[in-house]
Every structure is written in C-alpha cells, then in structure tokens.
Amino acid sequence: MQLTVWTYEGPPHVGAMRIATAMEGVHYVLHAPQGDTYADLLFTMIERRKKRPPVTYTTFQARDLGSDTAEIFKTAAREAYDRFKPQAMLVGASCTAELIQDDPGGLARALNLPIPVVPLELPSYQRKENWGASETFYRLVRTLAGPNAPPPGTPRPEREPGRRPCCNLLGPTALGFRHRDDVTEITNLLGLLDIDVVVVAPLGATPADLARLGEADFNIVLYPEIAETAARWLERTFGQPQVTAVPIGIGATREFVVQVAKLAGVDPMPVLSGQRSRLPWYSRSIDSTYLTAKRVFIFGDATHAVAAARVADEELGFTVVGLGTYAREFARSVRAAAETYGVEPLITDDYLQVEAKIAELQPELVLGTQMERHIAKRLGIPCAVISAPVHVQDYPARYSPQMGFEGANVLFDTWVHPLTMGLEEHLLTMFREDFEFHDEAGPSHLPSAAAETETVAPSSAGPIGWAPEAEQELKKVPFFVRGKARRNTEQFAQNMGVATITVETLYDAKAHFGR
C-alpha cells in the first residue's frame, strides 16, 4: 500500500479512455462501478470536449456481485453496439471489475458483434494511465492494421518516383498536454518540407485510418509514452522507420527536421535556413541577461522533462538544478539527461517527495506539472507547466503548441513571464463555491489579496457604526467579496437611515442588492 495525497497518473483504464475519446468510431465498454464515471468530466470539463467520451460503464452494484455481473456486461456491450454503432469496440475492466474476473474479452466475443472487438488487459494494481494508453493504442493498431501486413520478411518497396513522401503522426490523444496544437504545428512544418501526413493517430483517427497505417513511408512518434510500442510494432511489421527526435525547442526541432528530411529524401535547408522562431533572438537580446543561470527545477513525463531541460540549459541559459519524472517506464532517458547536467535524477510518483526536493533546492523557477504548480505556489516560487497531468488552464483558447518553431516561441513566453511578472492566476474564481473559505485557511499563496481586504476593511467608517455581531458576521463572507458586502451594507444603512448596522441590516442589504 502506498500513501498517496495526489497522483500524477490515473489508472490504466483512463489511459484507454484517452485513446477511445481521441478517436472517431470507437466505443469502449468498461466493466466498472458507478463512481468510475467521474472520468467523463476529465474530458468534458478539463478539456471542454463537446461530446461525452464514447464509454459505456456497466455500473454494477454490490447487490449484483456474485450473481449476474457478467450478464450486466453483456447487456451493456450489446446495447452500446446497438445505440452507438461503432466501427470497433474496446472492452475491459476497471480496478474493481478486475477483481471479480468476469473476462470482458470472452463475454464480448460471445456476442458475435460484426465489428472488431479489442479486449484490453490493463492491470490496475501494477500499471498506470500512460501505460494503459500505450497498450490500448498498440492493441488497436495491431488488430486493425495487422490484416494488411505483408508476409514477415518482405522488404519495404521503394517509393514510386514522383510520389510525395508521406508519414504518420503517432501519439496525440485526448487529454494530452497541447497535443491538438502540436499536431497542427508539426503538420505545417512537414508541409514546408513537402511531406504529406497520411494518418494522425489516435487523435481524430477512425478504425479505418488505423487499418492503413502501413501505407506511409515512415512514422513520427510525437509522444513516446503513448506511441512508441505501436511504432516499434509497425517498424517490425511494415518496415516503416520511425523518427525519434521530439521537436521541443529550437535545437531539437532542427534535429527533427534533419531526421525527417533524411527519411523522406528531401532537402531540409529551406526550413533550416530561415529564421522561423523568435526564441534565439529574444534569448540573445540583452534584456534576457537576467535569465542567466536562473536555477530551475524540472519535473514531468520523461519526454517533456528531458526536452525542457535541454531548452532551459542551451536556449535560455538557465541552470538545471533538479530533473525528474513520475514515469518509471521512461526513467532511463531522464537518468541519462540528469547526468549531463550533473544533477541527481528524481524518479518518483510520490508528490510529497517532489515537494520536499523542491523545498530543499529552493529553485528560482519550477517547470513541472499542475502538481508542481501547487507546490511552487505554496513555496512562493514562479512556475510554468510543461507536462501532464493537466488542468483546464492547459487548454488555452489560443494556439499554443509546445513543439516546432512556434512551440519554441510559446516556451520562451510561458517560462520567462512568471519570472518577470509573477504567476498571475485567477484562482479566486475557482474557490467561489468553497463555503468554508476563511482567511486563515485560504490565501497562503495570495498574500496580496488578503492584504488588500485588510486595507479595505477599516477605511469606510463614516458616521455609520457596526455592531460587533454584524462585524463578526461580515468576516464569514469570503474575503474576495467582503469589501463589496461592506460597501453595499453601509450604503444601504445610509439610505435607510440606520445608525448602527446589525446582522439584520447586513442581510437586509444582501437581499436588497442581490449578488
């Protein structure tokens, strides 16, 4: 058992949901109790997706255990097929259903549905979200592209002369950190090199798209955590080479362009020779000298953490004082990178350990996940988010990729602005419903907000007095509207000719003005 306050990754079936939700024409029937339906809100609220995730939960209850949970699964799968008419179905169990061992795969097979059904074995007590996403994508690719595979050992035919080179973009999912914008950026970049994109998967792909993955000349793995396993299988099966450079930052993007151009047999120079990002100049501009040797702590998924360390070190002139990841499966790359910066790698999914490390190191900037953002706020350290786990703020309305040349511009802005201006976040609106909000518990990280209300409080004494109980009652109003409540009440009292404000006056005024 592990004591966990916050967790970096969800369970593996949430990873499977990220694949199903990213795709079109796929439905996931998940054997799970009712509480597991919370996962829908990750997609509809955090990512603001316009459709419910294509997931049917069996929502079995205690009284069903030992009697007919298998029947409940079959009914749910049959009804989901009838209602949603998917082109492919994923079936599996969440942590609780895994324990009751109903075998969703076997049950679904028995239904003889006229579509490919992919059973998922995602061990919830060993594995986590990213692994679940990777495994799900791999299973889908194998099931759907497998029938089109050439006999083993067949050499890949040469591209016909005159045909433009083409590739697949693999890895972007629902609930990914800036995946949507990265895909646009990289597709545009490939366009500049005269390379076509055959399939982007899983984001926006249909089962039919996965079936023709083998048509492309090569694969680009944007997010190894999600797509490396599938890409390796495609390499073995279809002889498709893969691009391993992850184009985050100027240096990495240029390397990516060189690798891609080589595989495609095109000239990289038209892209490399132009000045396509402002980062190099902004970083050399003399006002950036204050960035020199800023001590930065970096934590995230392995790909984003390693990429961020390189950008911080080579492109912004920061000093990397800490580097780590919560993704044990990809720890090797983080260890190697940590060695080049001469720091001890922090490989852990224990939030408290990360917090302790940051507190100990006292960096000047934290580049992390939403979890490190919380830590940094508490410690009063500027922070920028570079990796999942995500939050609603990680889905900005504006175009905001991490990858490619525009991505480098975004990195410059988002990492440098917290240093100059402090992290301006409007957390207050999020806490409006928190009825227990009071000054002592609240604004530990918002000293300015608390100070402001304190200065508001005694300013408007005037001829109207406050009875002590009324003053007490006013203190229970959340601090961010207290100033307004005070002003309104005093104005009301003045209009009504009330000399001393009582609790009654306070509420009379509240009723009078409304919200």
Non-local (6+) Cβ contacts of 482 within 8 A are 453, 456, 457, 474, 475
Minimum distance from residue 298 beta carbon to other proteins (Å): 22
Q: For other proteins, which is the closer residue by CB, 281 or 507?
A: 507
Minimum distance from residue 1 beta carbon to other proteins (Å): 4
Do residues 383 and 367 make contact, with C-beta atoms less than 8 angstroms apart? yes
Q: For other proteins, which is the closer residue by CB, 103 or 255?
A: 103
Distance CA 363, CA 16 (A): 36
3-class state of residue 514 by DSSP: coil
Minimum distance from residue 319 beta carbon to other proteins (Å): 29
Minimum distance from residue 489 beta carbon to other proteins (Å): 13
Q: For other proteins, which is the closer residue by CB, 128 or 310?
A: 128
Minimum distance from residue 47 beta carbon to other proteins (Å): 10
Minimum distance from residue 401 beta carbon to other proteins (Å): 24
Q: For other proteins, which is the closer residue by CB, 123 or 146?
A: 123
Q: Which of 209, 75, 78, 77 is nearest to 137 (CA)?
A: 209
Distance CA 88, CA 113 (A): 10
Q: For other proteins, which is the closer residue by CB, 6 or 233?
A: 6
Non-local (6+) Cβ contacts of 509 within 8 A are 485, 488, 489, 491, 492, 493
CA 317, distance to chain mean position in Å, is: 27
Q: Are strands 88-93 and 26-31 parallel, antiparallel or unpaired?
A: parallel
SS (H, E, C) 388-403: CCCCHHHCCCCCCCCE
Q: For other proteins, which is the closer residue by CB, 286 or 397?
A: 397
Distance CA 205, CA 216 (A): 15
The residue with tokens 């993007």 is: 253
Do residues 389 and 371 make contact, with C-beta atoms less than 8 angstroms apart? yes
3-class state of residue 296 by DSSP: strand
Q: Which of 143, 139, 144 is nearest to 121 (CA)?
A: 139
CA 316, distance to chain mean position in Å, is: 24
Non-local (6+) Cβ contacts of 291 within 8 A are 283, 316, 317, 318, 416, 419
**Catalytic annotation present for 413:** no
82, 194, 209, 287: the catalytic one is 287
Outline where 244-350 has alpha helix (H). 250-264, 269-273, 279-284, 302-310, 331-341
Q: For other proteins, which is the closer residue by CB, 41 or 208?
A: 41
Catalytic residues: 287
